[in-house]
Amino acid sequence: MLHGLIEREEGLKAAALRAADAGDWQGVASMAKELQAVYRAILASGAVPAPESARWEGLLERWTRLEAEAVRKAALGPARAAAAAKASAPEAVLRLSIETAPPAPAPAPVPVSGPAPAQACSPVPAAKSATGVTLADVKGLEAAKQAVMDALVNPVRHPDIYRTLKIKNGKGLLLYGPPGTGKTMFARAVAGELGLPFIYKKMSELKDKYVGESEKNVSRLFEEAQSHKRCVVFLDECESILRKRGNQKINVVEQFLAELDGFGTRRDVQLFLILATNRPWLIDSAVTRSGRIGLAVHVGLPDAETRRAIVSAALEGVPLAPDVDVESIVARTEGYSGAELHHGDGGGVCDEAAMEASRRWVKRREPLRPGDPEWNRVEEVTAADFETALEKVVPVSRKDPEIVRKNREFSLSNAAAGEDGDPEAD
C-alpha cells in the first residue's frame, strides 16, 4: 500500500510541477490538496515507523503551505499570476518535485568515489525497501542487474572488499535503452536495496528559457539532493540537458560537470546518481568519462528468459484457461518491452488479456444478483484473450524501430571501445 501511495505522490508532484510551469496556480492548489491527503494516508497507514514520520509530517506541512500560496497566486488574476509564477517558479518547481521516501538508518558513510576511509568496515545488510521495489522485482536482465550491484549496491554492502581490492567507482551510472525496459524501475530498486530516499527528476524540467536559470536549476537540484546526505538521485531524460557540446561550451553542461565534480569531495554526503536516457548517443562524452558517470549500462529489450520471468510473475495467481501456453506468449513477444508485457499501471499484454476476461465476467454477472451461484464463478483468461491483447499492444520494436536499433548500435560500439558490454545481447 505504501508503494502505491508513494507512486501516487510521484504522479501528483509531477502534475503540480507541470501546472506550476504553466502558471496554473489553481491546478497547483488542487494537486497540493490531493498530496496532503496522500501524506495523511501514509501517516495513517502504520507502515512508517515513528522516527520517519517526521519527514512525512514535514511534507504534509509544506504542501499545506504551498496550497495556500497557490490559492493566493490564483486569486491574483492571469497577468499578475504569470509575473508571480515567473518570480517563484524555480523555487516551487524544484522543491516540489523531489520525492522523499523515508530514510533508512544510515550506516557509516562511504564515499562512492575516491579512497574509502580507513576505519573498520560495517557491511550493510539488505535494507528494507524505501521505495517498495527491490532488484528481485526487476525480472531477468541479469547482466544489467549485476552491473548495478557491482557499481552501486555492493560497494555499500561490502566496503571492505572494495577497499582491499582497490576498486574505485565513478559517481554513478547511466542506464540507457528503449522506452519501457525498466530503467526507472532499476533505479527505484537500487534505492529499495539500499533503503535510501529516492529523488526523481526529469532533466527536461530543469530547462528554462531565461538565461542562467537552467544552470541555477541544476545547482539547486544538487543542493537539495545533498541536503538528504544519502540518497539515490535519478535523473531521467538526461539527454535533454547533457547534450553533446561540440566545440561550443554549453553552460548548463558545464554547471552539471562542476556539481558532479564537487559532490565527490564531501565526505558527509553520499549521492548515488543514476542517469537515464533513450538517446545515449546525444550525451556529451565529458559526462560519461571515467571518474564521473563512468559506467553505461544497456537496458535493452528483454530476451526470452527475461520475457518468461516477467510473464510468469505477471500471471502468478491469475486464473488461466488450460489453453494458455506461457512458452508461446514468450515466443510471440520478441520485440516487446517489459512494460508492454506487464505494466504496474496496466496496458501490457498480460494486463490487456486479463482485462478481456474481466469484461466477460462483468457482462455475465451484470444481469445476476449477488448470491447467485454464477456471481463468483471465476472467468479464466484464455489463449484467445492473449491473441486480442497481442493485437492491441503494439511493441516498441514496431512503433519505433529506430530507437531500438540506435540503442543497440550504441551498446555495440561501446562494447567495441571496451567501455561497456552489451549485457542484454542474446
Least distance to ligand ATP from the beta carbon of 353, Å? 15
The upper half-sphere exposure of residue 2, i.e. CA atoms within 13 Å in the direction of its Cβ, equals 20
184 binds Mg ion (CB under 5 A): yes
Amino acid at 282: L
Amino acid at 27: G
Give me 225's grid cell. 539532493
User: What are residue 192's phi and psi, to 5 degrees?
Assistant: -65, -45
339 binds ligand ATP (CB under 6 A): yes
> For residue 107, what are the CA distances in angstroms to 148, 195, 303?
20, 11, 37
How are beta strands 172-176 and 230-236 bridged, if at all?
Answer: unpaired
Q: Which residue is nearest to ligand ATP (CB)?
A: 338
> How many whole angstroms separate alpha carbon 95 and alpha carbon 62?
10
Residue 228: which of Mg ion, ligand ATP, none does it interact with, CB under 5 to 8 A by kind? Answer: none
Amino acid at 66: L
- State the virtual CA torsion across 96, 99, 100, 101 in degrees, nearest 10: 150
C-beta of 35 vs 297, nearer to ligand ATP:
297
> How many whole angstroms separate alpha carbon 214 and alpha carbon 204?
10
Among 145, 202, 292, 343, binds ligand ATP (CB under 6 A): 343
Least distance to ligand ATP from the beta carbon of 394, Å? 15
134 binds ligand ATP (CB under 6 A): no
> How many whole angstroms separate alpha carbon 253 and alpha carbon 286?
9
Which 30-89 residues touch ligand ATP, going by CB under 6 A? Answer: none
310 binds ligand ATP (CB under 6 A): yes
Least distance to ligand ATP from the beta carbon of 351, Å? 9
Residue 170: which of ligand ATP, Mg ion, none does it interact with, CB under 5 to 8 A by kind? Answer: none
DSSP line for 299-311: --S--HHHHHHHH
Among 138, 253, 297, 357, binds ligand ATP (CB under 6 A): 138
Residue 339: which of Mg ion, ligand ATP, none does it interact with, CB under 5 to 8 A by kind? Answer: ligand ATP
Amino acid at 221: L
183 binds ligand ATP (CB under 6 A): yes
411 binds ligand ATP (CB under 6 A): no
DSSP state of 149: I
Least distance to ligand ATP from the beta carbon of 324, Å? 20
Using the contact rule CB under 6 A, the part of the chain among 106-114, 133-141, 195-203, 319-327 near ligand ATP is 133-141
Using the contact rule CB under 6 A, the part of the chain among 156-164, 190-198, 339-347, 355-363 near ligand ATP is 339-347
C-beta of 30 vs 184, nearer to Mg ion:
184
423 binds ligand ATP (CB under 6 A): no
Least distance to Mg ion from the beta carbon of 21, Å? 20
Least distance to Mg ion from the beta carbon of 274, Å? 11
129 binds ligand ATP (CB under 6 A): no
DSSP line for 193-223: HHT--EEEEEGGGG--SSTTHHHHHHHHHHH
C-beta of 268 vs 316, nearer to ligand ATP:
316
C-beta of 228 vs 343, nearer to Mg ion:
343
User: What are residue 27's phi and psi, to 5 degrees?
Assistant: -60, -45
Among 111, 172, 182, 197, binds ligand ATP (CB under 6 A): 182
192 binds ligand ATP (CB under 6 A): no
| Closest C-alpha to 148, from 184, 178, 199, 121 | 184
Least distance to Mg ion from the beta carbon of 187, Å? 8
Least distance to ligand ATP from the beta carbon of 206, Å? 17
Which 141-160 residues touch ligand ATP, going by CB under 6 A? Answer: 141
* Partners of 232 in the β-ladder: 198, 272
315 binds ligand ATP (CB under 6 A): no
Give me 10's grid cell. 510521484
Amino acid at 95: R
Q: In which residue are the cell numbers 520478441 written? A: 334
Residue 408: which of ligand ATP, Mg ion, none does it interact with, CB under 5 to 8 A by kind? Answer: none
> How many whole angstroms separate alpha carbon 13 and alpha carbon 99?
8
C-beta of 66 vs 295, nearer to ligand ATP:
295
Which 235-294 residues touch ligand ATP, going by CB under 6 A? Answer: 278
> For residue 248, what are the CA distances in angstroms to 24, 93, 120, 238, 253?
36, 29, 46, 19, 11
Q: Are the CB atoms for 96 and 17 separated by under 8 Å?
A: yes
The upper half-sphere exposure of residue 147, i.e. CA atoms within 13 Å in the direction of its Cβ, equals 26
Binding site for ligand ATP (CB under 6 A): 138-141, 179-185, 278, 306, 310, 338-339, 342-344
Binding site for Mg ion (CB under 5 A): 183-184
